[in-house]
Chain A
Amino acid sequence: MKLTTWLERKEEMKKKKAPKIVFTSVDEMPIMAMSTGSQSHNLTGAWRNIKPVINLEGCIRCGICWKFCPEPSIEIVDEYPVIDYDYCKGCGICAEECPTKCIVMVEEKK
């Protein structure tokens, strides 16, 4: 199996259409609320007012932003962090925690 990064897998999932789940009787339903891939269509990054921007020149590849991102919307690609703006909600934790302050929060222009 070809190894794909999480960002690539997400692009694949976005191409598939989210199925609308309809149950006609209680017996058909699972015992708990469950969704299959609904997040690939619900791009929560749209909620963001400010966004983190990384200046890679200052990055020391410590991985702290990746570790602290609660979403998690940061992936390490070739040792450097990449932000997934489809899901980043702009909380600013990465910028706050970055030891070299190479991540800054900038206003979204919509």
Chain B
Amino acid sequence: MKKVIMGNHALSYGAMLSRAQVIAAYPITPQTQVVELLSEMCADGTLDAKFVKVESEHSAMAASIGASAAGARAFTATSAQGLALMHEMLHWASGGRHPVVLGNINRALAPGWSIWTDQNDSLSQRDTGWMQYYCSSNQEVLDTVIQAFKVSEALMIPSMVVLDAFVLSHTYEVADIPSQEAVDAYLPPFKPEMRLTPSDPHAFGGLTSPEHYFEFRYKLQKDMEKAPDLIEKTGIEFEKAFGRKLGLVDEYLTDDAELILVTSGTVGLTARVAIDALRKEGIKAGNLRMRVFRPFPFKTVRNILKKAARVAVIDRNVSYGHHGIFYEEVKSALYGKGKGPVVHGFITGLGGRDVTVDFIKDIAAQALAKKKADAEIVWIGVKI
């Protein structure tokens, strides 16, 4: 059924169709509508789930972990300051191997107090052991929640489904809402091998001596390494069932490109418009939109980027004292793999400043004009 929905409600519908059993959340702009709709669904019986009102995001994640440990499918959503407050519990979720799915609306971190989009909130959680998907349309948000549960539960690793504040969260688009039967066929019920149950008492996540801790972390990394193939496989299954492709990345005109832009989130779709304009001017540009950031899809990124002589990575984030975070990661993916493209890094759109087609055309022009890699940050649209 096609419906015009906002990005936040795409998360709610994704959780509903995935038959989330426990939703624990605390409201925060710009995430509020996600849990508003889910609480209504729980109240009117549309969704057979327990809605837990908590007093903070730290508790929202703690409750989600508890639910997941007891064998329930758990969903929550947050943004920026809320995600930062969850930080400790994010490690508990991944370390305890609880496949919670979290919707995060990318919002700039304070101060100055901001509700507008940038990626520093979710990218600050890069090393928490969560998978991260960056979405660029409401349809993709809805679909990704369903896929994320499937991948998470197969690997027992939690997932974050990320979308841009306002640019996507509050933008209404047409989305195809799949039937419950079709989603049920794609996503079976959550049946963990081990769970908390009074009849067979266990304690999870207790004191772990140096004799064992190292191996738990080794196993988490080894399972994370299985994720790229599984995301591809479940993406193909998704396409067969619903007609929409969900891959590790989204390519646009990369095959003959001299310059490939690396983008994520909604900037990835604005880039397509810029690329169409650039191609009319005779510049062969293409776009690699990173859909999955963790696990980092090394092989896929390398194979695509080696087609071009130049790469421009556009970051709506910054790692202070280093570079844009996607820029760092793309460079590391190419390291030691022979002669690769020249990679330039651009930072733009922090704190919700619009990333326009003109900005992206400017980025392409600057990347083509530079002779060699200088590892300097180029700031686009900053008032200097």
Q: Which residues of A contact B (CB under 8 A)?
A: 23, 26, 29-39
CB of B218 within 8 A of CB of A31, answer no
In the complex, residue of chain A having the shortest beta-carbon distance to the beta carbon of B208: A33
In Å, the complex CA distance between A37 and B205 comes to 13
In Å, the complex CA distance between A108 and B156 comes to 45
List residues of B (152-171) whose CB comes within 8 Å of A's CBs.
Answer: 156
CB of A35 within 8 A of CB of B203, answer yes
CB of B201 within 8 A of CB of A37, answer yes
> Contacts A30-B194, A31-B156 hold; do A38 and B216 have CB atoms under 8 A apart?
no
CB of B216 within 8 A of CB of A29, answer yes
Which residue of A33, A35, A36, A37 contacts B216 across the interface (Cβ within 8 Å)?
A: A33
CB of A26 within 8 A of CB of B202, answer no
> Contacts A23-B215, A26-B215, A29-B216 hold; do A34 and B204 have CB atoms under 8 A apart?
yes
In Å, the complex CA distance between A104 and B371 comes to 79
Which residue of A23, A29, A35 contacts B206 across the interface (Cβ within 8 Å)?
A: A35
In Å, the complex CA distance between A29 and B95 comes to 14
In Å, the complex CA distance between A31 and B74 comes to 19
User: Contact size class for B?
Assistant: 20 to 34
Q: Which residues of B contact A (CB under 8 A)?
A: 95-97, 156, 194, 201-208, 212-213, 215-216, 218-220, 223
In the complex, residue of chain A having the shortest beta-carbon distance to the beta carbon of B220: A31
In Å, the complex CA distance between A38 and B206 comes to 10
> Contacts A23-B212, A29-B212, A29-B215 hold; do A35 and B223 have CB atoms under 8 A apart?
no
- 4 nearest A-B pairs in the assembled complex, by CB-CB distance: A33-B208, A32-B97, A35-B203, A26-B215
Complex A-B: 11 CB contacts under 8 Å:
A26-B219, A29-B212, A31-B97, A32-B96, A32-B97, A32-B205, A32-B216, A33-B205, A34-B194, A34-B206, A37-B201
In Å, the complex CA distance between A39 and B206 comes to 10
CB of A33 within 8 A of CB of B206, answer yes
CB of A26 within 8 A of CB of B218, answer yes
CB-CB under 8 A from A33, the residues of chain B are 96, 204-208, 212-213, 216
